[in-house]
Amino acid sequence: MCLLLIGLLLLKIPLINLLKKIRNKFFLTSSWFLYITLGIYYPFIFTKIIFWDYWNTTARQFQIIYFCFPIIHYLALRISKLIGLRKSNIFFFKDPYLYVNFVLIYFSITFNEPFTNIQGPSVTSSAMNTIATIAKECDAKIVDLGVGAGATFVVPENTFYSGRKGGFFIGKKKLVPGSLSSCSYKNYYQMVSIDEKRFPNIGYDPSTASKFCSHNGPTEKMYGCSARNNGEW
């Protein structure tokens, strides 16, 4: 029994040191993983925290994210020094990670959707098809059933035509995506874009059977919309 106690006492110090090394190694490994992950996903995380919705983020908001990066990196460098993740003699402007991350974030933002607008034509075409389909089906239902409970449609949901800025409207009333709504024979249907510089607003007036649109894009015509104001599609 005494020998067992002596053995445990002799093992106590090496065992404690081993546990400390394992704990420190795990801590540093976890910290590095978190440090790199946050560095890579910084624009997306920052967007979610500040602007809430990544897809509704405009190009100007992405520029804000880009120019806030040095402040974020400075704080990350100070914290990483305090916990022993980075060497204490690394200075802000001499930190190679600063310039590597600058390049990565530059490409991440520059080639992002709010700048390139690669999806512009397909998104606009989808909105036009949605409005045209609803208008056609509602016209047929109103002829067959009349205006009332039978003449209804499901309010469409589109990422680029929803949220705080955009949405589906009948007249001036904004409808909830996925809900059931009565067809209209006098008020217009309209899909309002989250960003008129990227996607035009698309509408249809059943009382006159006219298609209308508007946008704030770089050219007078954009993705099938004939004009910035009072355009047709």
Judge if 102 and 146 occupy the same domain.
no
pLDDT at 6: 44
Q: Note whether residue 4 is domain-resident.
A: no
Q: How many Å apart are CA 190 and CA 213, to the nearest integer?
A: 9
Q: How many CB atoms neighbour CB 77 within 10 A?
A: 18
Q: Note whether residue 228 is domain-resident.
A: no
Judge if 90 and 131 occupy the same domain.
no
Does residue 166 have a pLDDT over 50?
yes
For residues 188-212, give the mean pLDDT. Answer: 92
Judge if 81 and 109 occupy the same domain.
yes
Judge if 170 and 103 occupy the same domain.
no
Q: How many Å apart are CA 40 and CA 59, to the nearest integer?
A: 19
Between these two residues, 220 and 85, which has the higher pLDDT value? 220
Q: Note whether residue 184 is domain-resident.
A: yes
pLDDT tens-place string over residues 2-54: 444 344 344 444 544 554 555 566 666 666 676 666 666 666 666 666 655 55
pLDDT at 135: 92
Domain that holds residue 201: 120-214
How many domains are contained in the chain? 2
Q: Is 219 left (phi over 0), alpha (psi -120 to 50) or beta?
A: beta
pLDDT at 144: 84
pLDDT at 227: 93
Domain boundary among the residues 48, 82, 116 is at 116
Judge if 183 and 131 occupy the same domain.
yes
Taking all residues of the chain, what is their mean pLDDT, rounded to a whole number? Answer: 75
pLDDT tens-place string over residues 119-158: 788 889 999 999 999 999 998 888 888 776 678 999 998 8
Judge if 81 and 143 occupy the same domain.
no
The whole-model pTM stands at: 0.55
pLDDT at 225: 94
pLDDT at 145: 81
Q: Note whether residue 229 is domain-resident.
A: no
Judge if 136 and 177 occupy the same domain.
yes
Q: Note whether residue 43 is domain-resident.
A: yes
Judge if 195 and 126 occupy the same domain.
yes
How far is the CA of 166 from the CAs of 11, 177, 181, 187, in angstroms?
A: 67, 11, 18, 18
Q: Where is 24: in which H helix or E strand?
A: helix 2-40
Q: Note whether residue 80 is domain-resident.
A: yes
Judge if 201 and 145 occupy the same domain.
yes
Q: Note whether residue 69 is domain-resident.
A: yes
Confidence of residue 185 (pLDDT cuts 50, 70, 90): confident
Between these two residues, 187 and 111, which has the higher pLDDT value? 187
pLDDT at 17: 55
Q: Note whether residue 89 is domain-resident.
A: yes
Judge if 189 and 177 occupy the same domain.
yes
Judge if 160 and 183 occupy the same domain.
yes
Judge if 176 and 125 occupy the same domain.
yes
Domain boundary among the residues 90, 116, 142 is at 116
